[in-house]
Amino acid sequence: MAFFTHQVCRGLSSSAVRAAAIKHVTIIGGGQMGAGIAQVAASTGHTVTLVDTSDDILKKAVKGIEGSLKRVVKKKFADKPEAGEEFIQKVLQNVSVSTDAGAAAQTLSHLCFIYYNTSSLPISDIASSTNRLDRFGGLHFFNPVPMMKLVEVIGTSATSQETFDSLLNFSKALGKTPVSCKDTPGFIVNRLLVPYVLEAIRLHERGHGSKEDIDIAMKLGAGYPMGPFELSDYVGLDTMKFIMDGWNEKDPDNPLFAPSEMLNKLVAEGKYGKKTGEGFYKYK
């Protein structure tokens, strides 16, 4: 979850102008996605507070951000290493960390926008726990955040136009390409992608194709960079199952959301994909 605070430009009524004034971002959760969002926000001149309950997670997040920035400057500043090092330090100066969630909550002022980065939980359900429904919206980033250009911007029926416009313009300020979507399960990308992956698994379960052949077919026949089994291992089988279980609970009669025995078995065995060394494939 993240909070955005902005400075209102008095005398200007344009929502776009007000949205462009977003300067401060508080991100709760220092995992891979949180750290990635923090890196991108800090790299584009925003001040960032990264909040987590664990000092170890925060240290790992900052170390990960620094490592990612070094890879960026290696390409961007290949002929100017000193400029690259200066860029890294400037970005890191924009990032502060905290284990004080209470302090983060204090950012919820009348100049605050709230967004939630998820595609498996309805934004409206999360928003219902607040009394700031008009200031609540969804931004769904993609992993790895520094590389992926797309951001899905989601508004609920209660999201104000000012908030929605602010999130659109903030996404552009991060150097991303935003697309608008209603608060529907999976939004756009995952609503199409996850059922496609699950149907590939069911195809394999029925014995109609090996996982290797299905992956090759989708790469060479459809031009996809990864086959569905490779993609599942990359995303994480536990994540795939979590998303599908949530959708199935909301809409159990929808055949697109039907669970997979093979997926459930692998997750139960702790085989989540690349991050555990084994999923549909084994990794060394």
Is 124 annotated in the active site?
A: no
DSSP 117: -
Cβ atoms within 10 Å, residue 42: 22
180 known member of a binding site: no
Indicate which residue of 43, 117, 119, 260 is catalytic: 119
**CA–CA separation, 127 vs 138, rounded Å?**
10
Is 24 annotated in the active site?
A: no
1 and 11 Cβ atoms separated by less than 8 Å:
no
Indicate which residue of 43, 46, 117, 140 is catalytic: 140
Within 13 Å, how many C-alpha atoms sit on residue 3's CB side? 19
Indicate which residue of 190, 204, 230, 232 is catalytic: 190
Pick from 37, 28, 208: nearest CA to 104: 28
Cβ atoms within 10 Å, residue 190: 21
275 known member of a binding site: no
75 known member of a binding site: yes
Token digits of residue 264: 């459930």
Assess whether the previous peptide bond of 144 is cis (omega < 30° from 0). Answer: yes
- Could you give the C-alpha distances from 89 to 28, 86, 92, 145, 153, in angstroms and in order? 23, 5, 5, 20, 30
**CA–CA separation, 273 vs 80, rounded Å?**
38
Cβ atoms within 10 Å, residue 149: 10
Is 110 annotated in the active site?
A: no
Is 152 annotated in the active site?
A: yes
Token digits of residue 102: 């209470």
DSSP 273: B
Cβ atoms within 10 Å, residue 283: 11
Binding site for CoA, by residue number, is 68, 75, 119
Catalytic positions, please?
119, 140, 152, 190
